[in-house]
A and B are shown apart, each in its own frame.
Chain A
């Protein structure tokens, strides 16, 4: 999962879905996810999948971006389905289809809505300590990724990637050890920064958004109709 790639898509996209309000997209995703979970046959699962694919296409960014992210859960769904391929192939197809759909819903949401916007919605139901750590952890991830990339270049230049597999794994472990130690130092720096900036037990994550418009309501209506359709079909 390339979080940097996802973050770039969400931050730099200029599609109609990018312009929609974060809470509308989160709610629509929840409705579509419920539709997916409630699907109990290949036909139903396929219809919901089609509805989500249509929505993903409406983002006007290449579908393969989001489909690539959605393939990952399909691999593991196949593991569950593999034991029933011969005994109950319809169940296997349903499971795999639902996994792809759920993955595509998450991928569409997260490639059109920045993680920070999603976190700010989720933080309303989390303890403040957890919410603060969520925001800081996300930021720290990008700092660590940059540091890790620098370390990997340095190790390669010094010939550290050669040798047997156990030697490579050991080198990999030592490299991560350096990263962990640097992250511990980062913790101390973060503490000092928070002290200087007057951390008052809560990181404010609210931002002003425009009132909902036709696009937001259309998105919610589309998702709600999909859910209603699933329950009617049942």
Chain B
């Protein structure tokens, strides 16, 4: 649920533009940071990761019709720069298929990028610690998704997209609405310039609380599912191809019996 499923026409224009603007800046920054790498290697890597995320987001799991994101896995495998580009590509293709609004691509990419970057960061910090990769990944996944879900709710709260009962400032003083002509065009959308408090802001808050309750309730189930699946994937990868997630089966220095032990290289 952290992936913004906000449809088109809900968010105010400044937020849409801010989302696109921030995404464009970060995208250019990411491209710039990897420009010295061999493009023939970088492009397929980003393409494959975006395809994996796209595949994961297209497969509904029967429980709540939830889909995993694999953003944490992408962060672990690719790092923040390549991962951000892959996240943008995935969100673009999803939006074209009506999975999330087209105008929300920017904000969606920021949320996805947050998950990827946080996943990379936490794995870099804790991936080399003792413990089964399954457990470490599951914990990291839950933390990342909790943070990104909260960020998504922060966006929702910040845009005040919940309807206010501020139909028109005149209506707050009328008892019978039929005494004044009802102008739908002016009164339906939230009045962003209104600073009225009282019952109207209480209604907005109540609407937001309802939405947040639904999101967190469904989200907790989704986080658990994604934690189990991502943990299983990483556990499997750590036993077969640990180099994909920055782990390596090099001999521990100073060990005479040449026993190989997975060692975290710190590289994605």
Residues A84 and B207 in contact in the complex (CB < 8 Å), given A76-B7, A177-B233, A180-B73: yes
Partner of A73, one of B51, B101, B241: B101
Residues A177 and B103 in contact in the complex (CB < 8 Å), given A134-B89, A172-B232, A195-B40: no
Q: How large is the interface on A (under 10, 10 to 19, 20 to 34, 35 or more residues)?
A: 35 or more
A1 engages B98 (CB within 8 Å): yes
- Residues in A with CB closer than 8 Å to B43 are 129, 132-133, 136, 194
Give min CB distance, B18 to chain A, whole Å: 16
B97 engages A110 (CB within 8 Å): yes
Check: B161 CB closer than 8 A to any chain A CB. yes
Interface SS majority for chain B = helix
Residues in A179-201 with C-beta less than 8 Å from chain B: 179-181, 183-184, 186-187, 190-191, 194-195, 199, 201
Check: A223 CB closer than 8 A to any chain B CB. no
Q: How many A-B residue pairs have CB under 8 A?
A: 264
Please measure, in the bound complex, the distance between the C-alpha atom of A74 and the C-alpha atom of B161, giving whole angstroms: 16
Given A137-B48, A141-B51: 13 more A-B contacts, CB < 8 Å: A1-B94, A3-B58, A3-B93, A39-B9, A87-B206, A99-B8, A129-B31, A135-B47, A137-B47, A137-B93, A139-B47, A176-B233, A178-B236
A residues near B, CB below 8 A?
A: 1-3, 6, 33, 36-37, 39-44, 69-70, 72-74, 76-77, 79-80, 82-84, 87-88, 90-92, 94-95, 98-99, 101-104, 106-107, 109-110, 115, 118, 122, 127, 129-130, 132-141, 143-145, 148, 165-166, 169-170, 172-174, 176-181, 183-184, 186-187, 190-191, 194-195, 199, 201, 233-234
